[in-house]
Chains A and B, each alone.
Chain A
Amino acid sequence: MDLSVLAALNAARRARQGSLLATNLLTGRSVVLTEGEAWPDTLREAAEKALRAGKSGTVEIEGETVFLNVHLPPPRIVAIGAVHITQALAKLAPIVGYDLTIIDPRTAFATPERFEGVDLIADWPEDVLPQRPLDAYTALAAVTHDPKIDDFALAEGLRRGCFYVGALGSRKTHGKRLERLAAMGLTETELARIRAPIGLDIGASSPEEIALAIMAEIVQAFRRRTLSGEAA
């Protein structure tokens, strides 16, 4: 493999773009296919199938054996709200293998003491998310209960195609939230993707249990999405 091919693959991986390395096992030639870019016709169908399923493997293309190595960005969680629930989530997420970033402008909540060793940003989502964009491999969980903090992030999560967008709050709270987000220009289809009330229905009551319900719902959204190839 040529170093330039490997460099292109690593660049796509660093940029959190789904990508695929196709290696012709007869000729030894390899090419990188990156999500959203133009792909060679001969590879398109097999590459799309492999990328959607997230599965690497060999395929026969025009009588030649080609190995398709799929590279999907590792899923991560962005949580809005440095609250009791996310203190518990910060312990659960690494066990399940998810990176976690917590954003909350309220400096009384977002303290290093409460979130030791956590990627914590004490700033407004409006200021943070343009620098650290959400993507299709990110789960967004908004749990501050405060529209001033949650709404922008939720809208951003839907627009950026986060595989999971969840919001804390009762059905009544959520009804008002939907009206506000619709006024921000989000479509009904987009709004229907918000998981609210947040978390799998396991009868969670304590903040720790709610964190577990959120974590489980995120895993479900990601695994179902990977298998079906559609946003959950």
Chain B
Amino acid sequence: MTGTIDPLLTAEGWRRDGRNVALATVIETWGSAPRPAGSHLVIDQDGNFEGSVSGGCVEGAVISEALDVIASGTPRLLEFGVADETAWRVGLSCGGRIRVYVERLT
């Protein structure tokens, strides 16, 4: 836990500082997904973030969903696959699929 970026410590610190924070967690992966289940991305209301849920492919989309979750307080379950096989604008170039759970830290 020392010396490396730890999104869960960041999330706790940000919330204690009074920021509005969402936590995104990889729930499930199929095929060659870059980050395993349990990986985290933490986002604040200004779009600052730490951590990762993919190799950088879908973070932008997760951040914009997270801002909605921060505003509404309702968790969301997102799914990302290869770009041309899904309705999402972004996708995973590696060909894998991931599900990401986004919730607000209250």
Contacts and interface: CB of A to CB of B under 8 A. Distances in A.
A9 B8 contact: yes
Interface in A2-35: 2-3, 6-7, 9-10, 13-14, 23, 25, 28
Contact of A56 (B9, B16, B38): B38
A69 interface: yes
Given A28-B75, A56-B38, A58-B27, A67 B8 contact: no
Contact of B106 (A1, A55, A69): A1
B105 interface: yes
B101 interface: yes
Contacts of A6: 8, 11-12, 15, 23, 105
A13 B8 contact: yes
A42 to B, nearest CB: 19
Interface in B59-99: 75, 77
B52 interface: no
Size category of the B interface is 20 to 34
A74 B1 contact: yes
Contacts, number: 53
Interface of A: 1-3, 6-7, 9-10, 13-14, 23, 25, 28, 55-58, 67, 69-70, 74, 99
Contact of A23 (B36, B101, B104): B101
B28 interface: yes
Contact of B103 (A28, A55, A56, A74): A28
Nearest to A3: B15
Contacts of B77: 25
B1 A56 contact: no
Nearest to A28: B75
B24 to A, nearest CB: 12
Contact of A1 (B1, B37, B38, B105): B105
Contact of A13 (B1, B28, B36, B75): B1
Contact of B105 (A3, A57, A70): A3
A25 B103 CA distance: 10
Contacts of A10: 8-9, 12
Contacts of A67: 25, 27, 37, 101
Contacts of A9: 8
A76 B24 CA distance: 28
